[in-house]
């Protein structure tokens, strides 16, 4: 029996460059099945905001404050 009302999968997209943007467009066109992008993350606020405006429906606030790897490494070593 085929489920006529499949559960929608909520997705958070990490990376809003060329590949991430195309993936987001595919999801929005329904090519990924019953899925919805609910959050975006990119270190570039302009890339994140551009894609959010294009999709016109998902939140573009930063989910994680990104630190450079060197800063993360320093904080791990100091503990």
Q: How far apart are CA 37 and CA 47, in angstroms?
A: 16
> Which carries the bigger pLDDT value, residue 69 or residue 28?
28
User: Domain range holding 53?
Assistant: 9-77
- Strands (DSSP E) found in the chain: 9-14, 35-41
What are 7-65's pLDDT values in tens digits? 999 988 999 999 999 999 999 999 999 998 888 888 888 898 899 889 886 555 555 55
Q: Is residue 3 in a domain? A: no
What are 10-20's pLDDT values in tens digits? 988 999 999 99
Q: Is residue 18 in a domain? A: yes
Q: How far apart are CA 26 and CA 22, in angstroms?
A: 6
Q: Let me know: does 16 contact 44? Beta carbons within 8 Å.
A: yes
**pTM for this entry:** 0.65
Q: Is residue 4 in a domain? A: no
The tally of domains found in the chain comes to 1
């Amino acid at each position: 029996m085929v489920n006529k009302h499949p559960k929608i999968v909520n997705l958070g997209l990490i990376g809003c460059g060329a590949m991430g943007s195309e993936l987001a467009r595919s999801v929005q066109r329904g090519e990924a099945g019953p899925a919805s992008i609910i959050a975006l993350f990119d270190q570039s606020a302009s890339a994140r905001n551009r894609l959010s405006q294009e999709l016109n429906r998902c939140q573009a606030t930063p989910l994680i404050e990104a630190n450079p790897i060197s800063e993360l490494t320093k904080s791990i070593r100091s503990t």
